[in-house]
Amino acid sequence: MVKVIKEISVFFPTYNEEKNIRKVVSDAKKVLEEISQRWEIIIVEDGSKDKTPQIVDQIAKKDRRIRVIHHRPNRGYGGALKTGFSNAKYEWVAFSDSDGQFDFSEITKFISKQKETGADLILGIRRQRADPFIRKVFTFFWSKLLPRILLGLKVKDYSCGFKMIRRKVYQSVQPLVGEEKVTQIEMLTKAKRFGFEFAEVEVSHYPRKFGKQTGADLKVVFRSIRDLLKLWWQLK
């Protein structure tokens, strides 16, 4: 495969993924070795309670291009995103969930779309979302209703955990004060208002094989609603 991108940082927010993370990182490494001249993988280990911390440390010891950042205590998905972006060193930064529901080889779709459009943010759209019904309900609430109504954020799947973004976009939208689900909403809303260009690509989404999801936890949802209202008040 021809090298299609000069340099890229990739990070994986990771929480209790002891049965998934090794394969996810291995698959990503194989793809990056084929498509990029310079790359790095950052595992943001977000205070896992299982064996994930030990496993990711073992992975990083075998390749200097892979590193681990440990959170103690857990900072949530938004905190993991901020850590990943803040520690990335290359021009382009991609992130993907570490539960194995995405096929990282589809990063080539993001790269092709960027070259075609010149966009600064390339956002994944889950073609057929392979999640439980209740999680789909929460996603509809967050993706279709609140961000559009309150902030005018018109993207098809803002919460998709597979994106590729210029590092300067993250640097330009600081500070990001939202946590959990609101971190992405805040980043995208500010990026749009600052004039950065968006593009979207469809990606595959597969059922989770191991572990359980935490995004529909009611505590997370209520905190996110509170933070979203705060963000709306600040930006209106």
Which is more confident, 163 or 2? Answer: 163
For the stretch 66-120, pLDDT in tens is 999 999 999 999 999 999 999 999 999 999 999 999 999 999 999 999 999 999 9
User: Strand pairing of 121-126 and 92-96?
Assistant: unpaired
Sequence-ordered list of residues with C-beta below 8 angstroms from that of 209, at least 6 positions apart, any chain: 19, 20, 100
The domain that holds 60 is classified in CATH as 3.90.550.10
Label residue 209 by pLDDT band (50, 70, 90). Answer: confident
- Locus of tokens 């390339």: 122
Residue 11 buriedness (CB in 10 A; 0-12 / 13-18 / 19+): buried
Cis peptide before 73 (omega within 30 of 0): yes
Low-confidence winner among 22-36, 45-59, 198-212 (lowest mean pLDDT): 198-212
Q: How many domains does the chain have?
A: 1
For the stretch 140-180, pLDDT in tens is 665 555 666 566 678 888 889 999 999 999 999 999 988 87
CB 142 within 8 A of CB 220: no
Which is more confident, 232 or 43? Answer: 43
Name the pTM for this structure. 0.88
* pLDDT mean over 195-203: 97
**Domain enclosing residue 23, as ranges:** 5-235
Q: Write out the DSSP string of 86-145.
A: HH--SSEEEEE-SSS-S-GGGHHHHHHHHHHH--SEEEEEESS--S-HHHHHHHHIIIII
* pLDDT mean over 211-232: 68
